[in-house]
Amino acid sequence: MAELAHLPAFAFRPEFELVAVAEPLPERRDLARALLPRVRVYEDLANLLNRESALDFVDICTPPRSHTRLAVAALKRGCHVLSEKPLFLSAQEVQEIKEVLTQIPPAVLVTANNWKYAPLLAKTTEMIRAGAIGSVQKLDWQVYRTNPSGGGLSLWRQDPANSLGGIVVDHGWHAFYILISWVGMPKAIKARLVRGAASPVEIEAEVEMKFPEATARLFLTWQASQRSNQGRVLGTAGEIIMEDDILMRVVEDSVIESHRFPEKLSGGSHHPQWMAGVLEEFLQEINFPEKRGANFHEAETCSRLIRLAYQSHKSGGVWLNLSSP
- pLDDT, residue 196, reads 81
Is CATH 3.30.360.10 the right assignment for the domain spanning 115-266+296-321? yes
Prediction pTM value: 0.95
- pLDDT, residue 325, reads 55
- pLDDT, residue 104, reads 79
How does pLDDT run along the chain (325 residues), one tens digit per residue?
999 999 999 999 999 999 999 999 999 999 999 999 999 999 999 999 999 999 999 999 999 999 999 999 999 999 999 999 999 999 999 999 999 999 877 899 999 999 999 999 999 999 999 999 999 999 999 999 998 766 666 678 878 888 999 999 999 999 999 999 999 999 999 999 999 887 889 999 999 999 999 999 999 999 999 999 999 999 999 999 999 999 999 999 999 999 999 999 999 888 999 999 999 999 999 999 999 999 999 999 999 999 999 999 999 999 999 986 5
- pLDDT, residue 158, reads 77
**246, amino acid identity:** I
- pLDDT, residue 151, reads 64
Asked if 128 contacts 214 with a C-beta cutoff of 8 angstroms, the reply is no
- pLDDT, residue 157, reads 81
- pLDDT, residue 184, reads 96
Q: Name every residue whose Cβ is closer than 8 Å to that of residue 219 and which is 6 or more positions away in sequence.
A: 141, 142, 143, 205, 206
- pLDDT, residue 156, reads 82
Domain ranges in the chain?
2-114, 115-266+296-321
Query: Largest alpha-carbon pair distance within the chain?
Result: 64
Domain at 2-114, CATH homologous superfamily: NAD(P)-binding Rossmann-like Domain (3.40.50.720)
Asked if 82 contacts 54 with a C-beta cutoff of 8 angstroms, the reply is no
